[in-house]
Structure 1
């Protein structure tokens, strides 16, 4: 439905907030005067018949994973919605999570809104800054200012890393400048499904202490409760709900009964699975009958070439993932059931986008029991023997697991490559279902018009009868860059309207133009360290004719060099238009704020903490990696001694902690959950006020080396020991730093998060790196200097 130009507010809705209109008519002195008349106060509502909107965005699901698109993972909810709605088999994302999400929520290309990659690799270049310009207001804000109720549940990876602490600023948070009135979920790229770091609005909270807790179930519980309350209290007001579970991003966490449903299903490996999926996709009609299956690239090992002793582990990885995806889909089904029970499902425009990019190949060629091993360049620690010993723990709270590259490739059937590879459809084509009985007449239809995630926002606005705003909150808006998909809802044969689209991620790049696609892969996702990518001009471009070749199986670059040259030039034009340039394939440099040019909360080589501080991301804390460091704390120990955490960073899958256990000062360094090094003081900490200190003297000579540890009471040695290895790059993507307790999972096996709270009193904790303090004691003057240095 389009806005009615005869409505008095039709023009006003292009200016948001809608300007208040002064009341016309005579003024009276006495309210009892018969001439006293004012129109009743009417709440701002969208146009009549504007639908509710539910957008469900799963994480890291390839085109060939869900049963709704021919995959091996049962997705009954997706099947149900597809049977009563439409499948879109040429819907595209950006190849990575945060860019897809920002594009979805704004209707603009990811570089246009500063999200050329993830927030952790942001640079000062506008297209990669992770800062959304205020000239590109999010869809939720537009809908809220038009009278919609708005809520987000789940993952938000769009907050710049230097704004992701509990102190904000909150301009880029969902309930800050994001336009959502309610947010319940997490900030960042991934989360532990069993022990997540959660926020309600901008307030950090702990997950419910319930047996069998699972994050996806919790998110859907909150979404269902919110929808029920919204319809109970505001039945005339439509809602915009955005459900973005962390599933099925690693870690692949799900209860054993879901995994067991798939036992033995993948024993013949990824090559055979890919053939099965391909046949099933043709049977379902979600790919053309004449589509061809591209061959496996040499960089991806054949199943038959994998070590026999590892194959049972590899099969278990995929069983775990399949159970995880089915569990996720069933939880989405609970929300759909709630809408049906409330009688509003037919009046709700549902987008079910099965993946924010292709399947993830970030789990190494062998997969991982703890994916942080690969992120630290330490995957070799997870030997086949180690992996076999952990088979029964995959998916459990003791795991932080990911599947092998071969499974990601198979889950992207029938396409080449995976997540991060924006050049090829394996990284960017995601099965999408649109369900809206109130606006779509066909049931169980297939749509093959080209579409992109930036098309969702203009589709919602057209369906709601709302104009694209020209100003929002006093700021002139740049045009939405997507194309509404409403034109295809009731016409399968109508020509596509989104005819040109660029792609780029970490210099993997491509261009689509009226059926043709030109692509070049620049780097391989699972090769994270020790690889020098080629010069951009040396990248080899491929050319595909989508009208004849659905799966990009036949490279026509040699046959049509003129078409390739035209598309290469067109890519450069679009890249210039949308802020893609300069291309940036740097690795470690982009992780360092000072080299990347982004702000940081951290300055200097010292940091001061106070009791109660917590949920501090790694970007909010001075890095102690690959260097000597010390931690000093002023504590007050009661008679009878104290117990608990003084400071902890990370968790059971990697981190360190200063704690008091058995009355004694202790330091624990946990390497990837594989090695735990403990150094414990010789004597208990006496009652009274004391300075406790640990010093780690780093061995040097490279990354991830060990060091000697010395413990001090009031500047006097109290114990010593050794840490044989450290983590060089990252402790965790979701665990944080806490003072006086530990949230999430525990670094040390000697305590749990529930028992971690320090039973004495903490005055302050100071972290120093790269300094040689022979006094082993911090004076009040020194502590003041550290505090003032960070002003």
Structure 2
């Protein structure tokens, strides 16, 4: 083997010309230069594929004993290894930031999610440049790099079309190609997509069979084929991160119908079935205990009988969604196999970036925007029953009930967000690498963590951790390579110390024992003050003899508990976890939190062509009076189309022209549409069109009177019966002169929404009164967390 001549600890690798004879005439026979060689990693470096599924518990996939059929995960595991003690951070953005850097999530500023960032180093959502991302390291060592799917690591003030793009995958993130979405969740049928940093529309409509997961798989397959066709000697690093199976649970009906009737016995029985199957498969030890259901989670038998058919369908849809996702993951893996490079491709199939999500309320949701706006009561059992056939379809924005999330985390306690217990952080993971792993169908029980992936890949590729990247001295990676365990199932675990923390839920694992304390329950966010951190009750578990954290030893071993509590504190200081932050409103107010904001004052001026503006980028009109004024040129053929629209089918507002008349529609949760229309057609020429909304006041979500004006003269009035107090959408945006995504009004589609005239500017002004102070701080925090 030719020795590697590159100084790879410094990236980019310095160009070092070898001294030698320089001739005067190129025709001189002594003229000789070495051929130009493309940069490659060391010989034998594998291709790498990371598959990261969203919001999937340990007990969901059939590969780990769950009810959701995942044949491709099973096939991959049969040719590789299952890790049953692999851990995440309990929340999506922190897990992703940790995985892509090889550092703990507070070390890279992602203590929680971008929407709750503060100026504290561990919660800033800004990755220090001393901790370069894995993709950058691989790219600068000669890998081709691409990401497909979800990116929730962009600070909210950097997520507008103006960037800066330092944290975007294809700019500062090290990926040469990015196709996917920015944020915590997205509509699977009509997503807001980016190609690099450029907004793009989906290539087809739901009616034409479009689904985001299939699109992402198509893109990944095409990119991998192209890469191997044009650069067969160069390895690739592909990060495939579909938005599935995060809510909304969107899937073609035939996939959900496969599970008809399979969940009629409810979540308690399903949990027991999964537990038995896990023992049968050997993915949990034979002496594991099934942890009991906590009082905060209702028993299936206590749920209203009339609601149970809708609850069953929620789980059928989720199971179909999971199987559908696995199917398209399989297409990516099949493409690699068809190219003949599966043998030397290191694949991580991580089934969940945290535990299953309990953010769907105790009853589940048809449109989770109702819950986000404190209006879950509008989704009565009767309403849910009436919408059974639409669950999972383009007309829904659905989520399953808390009980199903609990069942999908079998055999563990708790769910996503709860970083203290394994139900929030233990995710079944499969590793496949025929060239580097001898055993097929093996099981590994060493404690591992998502921060271990980056150092594993570097070791497998024969690459050192860089000490200098782009002129910046790098801090060491905090994970431990898993390569030592690939061919030695009995090897002593090397990652034997790990802290956990999320919104005050915290724990520490050390040499087989874990100490944990749960500070807050994900779905109980309002009513009653949280306990002081020092008053939280800690539990102690023997991880060697108690796989599921079922037997609390705190009373029996108080000294051991105290030792681990002190160790948690030491680790917390080391990795910027302190100060622990469970605040609500303060973290959601940029000025109080200490993070930048794009919005200042009571007025905002927008211009034609501006679009994909997130709610963080646009002045809020909620719970107050407002006006929208536009200066436009109306063509001779008349005005049609959108002036400005915010939100979409599941909530929002739009000022547009229909049949030549100015129209304003307020769409309340996709359930009620309040439409006001001008009495007359607007003539050709230059005009100002204005709508004024006079808020009723006296609280949140009130209605108000609406007036439309042409050039200062009133031309129409209307009434908005009620408004959304908190959020219009988790993924829809604001657009000027058109509407992307789903449409607020049925009067037009995204394709027909473009304004036929010319827009000079649009101005939004808000009134002096503001009822936002009436919003419970914890309610705002709950909404922010449930959107990630």
Superposed CA deviations along residues 605-659 of structure 1, whole A, max 9, x for unmatched, are: 1111111110111111111111111100011112242111110000011111111
Q: Secondary structure at the match of 1:483?
A: coil
Residue aligning to 2:87: 92
Alignment of 1:183-202 (within 5 A): 183-202=178-197
Residue aligning to 1:9: 5
Measured in 2, the distance between the counterparts of 1:223 and 1:23 equals 39
Gap change, CA 1:589 and 1:671, over 3 Å in 2: farther
Q: Secondary structure at the match of 2:764?
A: strand
CA contact (8 A) 1:217 1:331 kept: yes
Measured in 1, the distance between the counterparts of 2:306 and 2:214 equals 35
- The CA deviation at 1:236 is 0.4
CA contact (8 A) 1:90 1:451 kept: yes
What's the TM-score, normalizing by structure 1?
0.96
Alignment of 1:475-554 (within 5 A): 475-554=472-551
Q: Secondary structure at the match of 1:289?
A: coil
Note if 1:419 corresponds to 2:422: no
Residue aligning to 2:100: 105
Measured in 2, the distance between the counterparts of 1:682 and 1:532 equals 52
- The CA deviation at 1:531 is 4.6
CA contact (8 A) 1:247 1:324 kept: yes
Residue aligning to 1:294: 291
Measured in 1, the distance between the counterparts of 2:581 and 2:649 equals 34
Measured in 1, the distance between the counterparts of 2:765 and 2:692 equals 9
Aligned counterpart in structure 1 of residue 161 of structure 2, from 166, 183, 186: 166
Residue aligning to 1:789: none
Residue aligning to 2:780: none
Note if 1:133 corresponds to 2:128: yes
Q: Secondary structure at the match of 1:13?
A: coil
Superposed CA deviations along residues 322-378 of structure 1, whole A, max 9, x for unmatched, are: 000000000000011101100001110000000000000000000000111112211
Instruction: List gaps (5 residues or longer) in structure 1.
Output: 773-791
CA contact (8 A) 1:375 1:528 kept: no
Note if 1:446 corresponds to 2:443: yes
Measured in 2, the distance between the counterparts of 1:374 and 1:529 equals 13
Alignment of 1:64-75 (within 5 A): 64-75=59-70
Note if 1:324 corresponds to 2:321: yes
Measured in 1, the distance between the counterparts of 2:525 and 2:679 equals 42
Aligned counterpart in structure 2 of residue 348 of structure 1, from 345, 349, 363: 345
Alignment of 1:761-780 (within 5 A): 761-770=758-767
Aligned counterpart in structure 2 of residue 680 of structure 1, from 677, 680, 685: 677
Aligned counterpart in structure 2 of residue 751 of structure 1, from 720, 745, 748: 748
Superposed CA deviations along residues 121-152 of structure 1, whole A, max 9, x for unmatched, are: 11111111000000000000000000000000
Aligned counterpart in structure 2 of residue 283 of structure 1, from 280, 283, 298: 280
- The CA deviation at 1:47 is 0.5
Measured in 2, the distance between the counterparts of 1:639 and 1:15 equals 64
Q: Secondary structure at the match of 1:53?
A: strand
- The CA deviation at 1:756 is 1.2
Superposed CA deviations along residues 518-557 of structure 1, whole A, max 9, x for unmatched, are: 1111111112344532211111111111111000011111
- The CA deviation at 1:153 is 0.3
Note if 1:40 corresponds to 2:35: yes
Residue aligning to 1:591: 588
Aligned length: 767
Measured in 2, the distance between the counterparts of 1:771 and 1:515 equals 58
- The CA deviation at 1:224 is 0.2
CA contact (8 A) 2:4 2:42 kept: no
What's the TM-score, normalizing by structure 2?
0.96
Residue aligning to 1:740: 737
- The CA deviation at 1:53 is 0.3
Measured in 2, the distance between the counterparts of 1:730 and 1:607 equals 18
Note if 1:574 corresponds to 2:567: no
Alignment of 1:334-733 (within 5 A): 334-733=331-730
- The CA deviation at 1:662 is 2.2
Measured in 1, the distance between the counterparts of 2:219 and 2:158 equals 25
CA contact (8 A) 1:293 1:553 kept: yes
- The CA deviation at 1:290 is 0.4
Measured in 2, the distance between the counterparts of 1:64 and 1:698 equals 48
Measured in 2, the distance between the counterparts of 1:261 and 1:219 equals 23
Measured in 2, the distance between the counterparts of 1:530 and 1:379 equals 16
- The CA deviation at 1:264 is 0.4
CA contact (8 A) 1:654 1:673 kept: yes
- The CA deviation at 1:8 is 5.2
CA contact (8 A) 1:18 1:146 kept: yes
Greater displacement, 556-565 / 657-666: 657-666
Superposed CA deviations along residues 153-210 of structure 1, whole A, max 9, x for unmatched, are: 0000000011111111111100111000000001000110000000001100000025
Superposed CA deviations along residues 581-621 of structure 1, whole A, max 9, x for unmatched, are: 11111123222212211101111111111111101111111
- The CA deviation at 1:102 is 0.5
Measured in 2, the distance between the counterparts of 1:295 and 1:723 equals 47
Note if 1:122 corresponds to 2:131: no
Q: Secondary structure at the match of 1:106?
A: coil
Greater displacement, 611-620 / 67-76: 611-620
Measured in 2, the distance between the counterparts of 1:659 and 1:388 equals 34
Aligned counterpart in structure 2 of residue 27 of structure 1, from 11, 22, 25: 22
Note if 1:182 corresponds to 2:173: no
CA contact (8 A) 1:45 1:148 kept: yes
Note if 1:309 corresponds to 2:312: no
Greater displacement, 529-538 / 454-463: 529-538
Greater displacement, 416-425 / 521-530: 521-530
CA contact (8 A) 1:644 1:741 kept: yes
Residue aligning to 1:222: 219
Measured in 2, the distance between the counterparts of 1:552 and 1:675 equals 47
Gap change, CA 1:307 and 1:415, over 3 Å in 2: same
Q: Secondary structure at the match of 1:180?
A: coil
- The CA deviation at 1:226 is 0.4
CA contact (8 A) 1:377 1:529 kept: no
- The CA deviation at 1:749 is 2.0
Measured in 2, the distance between the counterparts of 1:371 and 1:342 equals 42
Residue aligning to 1:203: 198
Measured in 2, the distance between the counterparts of 1:153 and 1:425 equals 28
CA RMSD between the two structures:
1.1
Q: Secondary structure at the match of 2:148?
A: strand
Residue aligning to 2:76: 81
Q: Secondary structure at the match of 1:258?
A: helix
Measured in 1, the distance between the counterparts of 2:700 and 2:530 equals 22
Q: Secondary structure at the match of 1:310?
A: helix
